[in-house]
Structure 1
């Protein structure tokens, strides 16, 4: 009887021990799962090439066309294209960024990036770069406004707070310039953007070309009726036209880009027949300052366009 009692006691203790081990094991599993979730270092983003897994904290970014936006968000890339690096609006921020030329695969590979963001939608280029690191393709004009671009890149890079802070300051500065123009411009006065590129002539709308976004979207200056209907309302950012029809698109003020080989005969009778030319209301764009179309460039263009128009108005008094 005594032996039976001892046996039952030991058996009961064994059951308790097994039960405790199972509970401890279950607790450890939950904790382990929690730790894995907290330490997640990647996230999924939707792109034109499908869903892509990227780092939540990007440390070695390489860019093509999105250098200024990355910088304003507080992310300094390790590499950028030569075209990015000649941007006059960011020369004080590019020290230490390697020049990748025209997105050279060899140069990018040597930088060991953990994320690549490019504007080039060429399938072959994407195939090569995506073997080096997760690659996001954002083709030109993916973003139609400064606000869209800043928020889009901020979402990718996990810098939403930085993006909103920058946009708040941006909108305040834009409003200041709108008010300066409202003090000198009549509500019905129109502004057009013409471009001479080689022997071809262009009109520009409110998109990424020649300060269009700064002039029409941000400063909200009025376009001539035909430019409004044929370009802006249709979402067309530029249009090649015959020189002979330039007067049909003329405005009270004309911004003219003659950079990169543009040829426009200022003594030509057709050019001289345009009202803005007769009234000395043609303003010349600096190609180096008005070809870039990133958010930092657009803000600089907002300020420069305002100054050009205000000065022109004052000189006409």
Structure 2
């Protein structure tokens, strides 16, 4: 059995081989790469990625990266394409074909049908003089000297080169399209970034009768009952016009008790804190979180453009959403 040190040394060699392969294909880039990016930028249809075996797995990742960065893309298995899946291909589409040798039978078999449909074929290929390269409209050379596999058999270095080329295409295209973080969020609504850039206060706030509210004329006792029954530890106070004029929290109540204040005859107006911090229902949820953190409070009243309360948002609402 090998020692830990020899295993680590071998791994470093493999990683350096693969890094060198990426450096090598960077040196092979020509105007054809820009042609590929421009073709996808101007594509009125969709981008279809196809490949067999390990190249096919890399193709699936490339298609997924394109789709998540603003390009309509999908993966098509070449064997399935020959048995009906070619129906997804339309004139005006672009098909990216991946093959180390350029001699993949299943892939080359469908090339005439792709030409018949009038698509642009981009070949990401390890042999620029192969059949696939000859039949493609645009060729991207991902030639590697040797696989990281000690027998030069298992696709390793070659698939790394393909993956890196696919990433280069996707990100270059993303930049040409001026794809923004907001655009990214729309394709990643479940992720943390997506939530931060798309989720609004209105999506999380409590509204309707569950919002703790009293009028300025209400007694402190009634306000305490409102505050505790709604379980937010706070109550908003509205004036005669229905606008939010103040707020009263459980912290305010504790301070009254500590000072020995007799509030039995006092109204909400007498004890409330005026000009409370508020947020709009249309504001991003992350904005409300930033306000809560800045002012070191646990909830915000949500008001409309006329300063009328329409809801309340608590820090727990934001935490449970992973914000």
Q: TM-score, normalised by structure 2?
A: 0.26
Give TM-score, length-normalised by structure 1.
0.26
Larger radius of gyration: 2
